[in-house]
């Protein structure tokens, strides 16, 4: 929750192995990093040959409540959508990317 990207199960294992993340407490594999580090983390994974899918929460809890009001079936989960996929072939750069990010992806 908040400005944080989370990785679960096999993705958390990759994050631990490739990005030096640590597992969060709990019974299942779970790790993550702050939103501000997304460019750096995704560039590191792309440089290592991974494809990175970015999933964003597209609904607030209040929007979920409103959506459930007129529906017979009640959802307990806010909506999320995949908003981008990064690969070596699709990675683009802008002035917001740092120089280290550019050099890693060039790889």
Secondary structure (3-state) at 38: helix
The C-alpha angle 37, 26, 78, rounded to 5 degrees, equals 65
- Report yes or no: 39 and 84 within 8 Å, Cβ to Cβ: no
* Domain of residue 46, residue span: 4-106
The answer on pLDDT for 96 being more than 60 is no
The answer on pLDDT for 102 being more than 60 is no
Extract the tokens encoding 99.
């120089």
Helices (H) and strands (E) in the chain, counts: 4, 4
Q: Report how far residue 102's alpha carbon sits from residue 94's, in angstroms, rounded to the nearest whole number.
A: 10
Q: Report how far residue 102's alpha carbon sits from residue 76's, in angstroms, rounded to the nearest whole number.
A: 40
Amino acid 51: pLDDT:
95
Tally of domains in the chain: 1
In CATH, what number is assigned to the domain containing residue 35? Answer: 3.40.1170.10
């Amino acid at each position: 929750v908040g400005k944080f990207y989370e990785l679960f199960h096999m993705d958390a294992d990759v994050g631990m192995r490739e990005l030096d993340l640590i597992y969060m407490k709990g019974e299942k594999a779970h790790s993550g990093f702050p939103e501000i580090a997304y460019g750096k983390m995704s560039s590191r994974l792309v440089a290592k040959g991974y494809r990175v899918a970015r999933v964003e929460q597209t609904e607030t809890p209040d929007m979920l409540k409103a959506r459930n009001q007129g529906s017979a079936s009640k959802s307990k989960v806010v909506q999320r959508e995949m908003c981008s996929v990064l690969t070596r072939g699709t990675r683009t750069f802008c002035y917001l990317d740092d120089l280290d990010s550019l050099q890693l992806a060039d790889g």
